[in-house]
């Protein structure tokens, strides 16, 4: 049999546990109410474009073997890279990052395409050998006005190694700054692909 002393201790322990379960959440709520910067208010790593903007195809010229390359991206999630200066070293590095990101999506790989938008004077540009045979990469050219409009989506500061994410309905929804982390991009894509039934 339990002694009165052990029963008393057990009873006190139960009271202490109940008190902690009551007051600790209240203390945490008070603390975070006074320090809201400690709470991560969003689950995405890219910058949300609010409101989402439609990707209008006016002013975008065609540069691809396919007669209608923009048809290849319709209904897919699309990683858009805007190479305002033409696709130099930093742009090529980003192409490699998006290529590897897409490969890491495994069974969801077919739901994601890549679009490289070049200035119209770079219409003769050819992708690096590793990208030339990748069917997920669509190349288009755009007028200076259209390139500037796409940069404005990211507050006018989108670099050649930044990205814009377009949803399957043709809306620009997220943008990623220069030097973005590809692993965080993958997390965003996996979350969106899991939550979405389209694309």
Bigger pLDDT: 7 or 58?
7
Entry field: residues in the chain: 199
At residue 83, the pLDDT reads 87
pLDDT tens digits, 126-173: 888 777 678 888 888 888 888 877 877 777 677 888 899 999 998 899
Cβ proximity of 40 and 110 under 8 Å: no
Look at residue 67 and tell me whether its pLDDT is greater than 50: no
Cβ atoms within 10 A of the Cβ of 178, count?
14
- Measured between its terminal Cα atoms, the distance across the chain in Å is 67
Domain spans of the chain, in order of start: 4-38, 47-195
Fold for the domain defined by 47-195? Glutaredoxin (3.40.30)
For 66-134, the DSSP string reads SS-HHHHHTTSEEEEEE-TT-S-HHHHHHHHHHHHHHHTTGGGGGGEEEEEEEEGGGTT----HHHHT-
Cβ atoms within 10 A of the Cβ of 99, count?
18
- Range scoring the smallest mean pLDDT among 45-49, 113-117, 124-128: 124-128
At residue 65, the pLDDT reads 42
What's the rounded mean pLDDT across residues 17-21? 85
Cβ proximity of 119 and 142 under 8 Å: yes
């Amino acid at each position: 049999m339990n002694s009165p002393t052990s029963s008393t201790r057990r009873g006190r322990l139960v009271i202490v546990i109940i008190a902690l379960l009551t007051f600790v959440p209240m203390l945490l709520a008070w603390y975070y109410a006074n320090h809201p910067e400690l709470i991560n208010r969003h689950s995405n790593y890219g910058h949300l474009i609010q409101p989402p903007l439609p990707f209008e195809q006016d002013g975008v010229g065609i540069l691809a073997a396919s007669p209608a390359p923009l048809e290849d991206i319709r209904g897919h999630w699309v990683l858009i890279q805007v190479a305002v200066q033409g696709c130099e070293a930093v742009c090529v590095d980003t192409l490699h990052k998006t290529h590897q990101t897409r490969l890491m999506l495994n069974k969801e790989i077919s739901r994601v395409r890549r679009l490289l938008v070049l200035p119209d004077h770079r219409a003769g540009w050819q992708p690096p050998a590793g990208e030339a045979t990748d069917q997920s990469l669509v190349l288009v050219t755009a007028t200076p006005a259209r390139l500037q409009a796409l940069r404005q989506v990211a507050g006018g500061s989108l670099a050649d190694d930044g990205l814009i994410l377009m949803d399957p309905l043709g809306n620009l929804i997220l943008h990623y700054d220069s030097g973005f982390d590809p692993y965080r991009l993958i997390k965003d894509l996996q979350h969106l692909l899991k939550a979405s039934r389209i694309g």
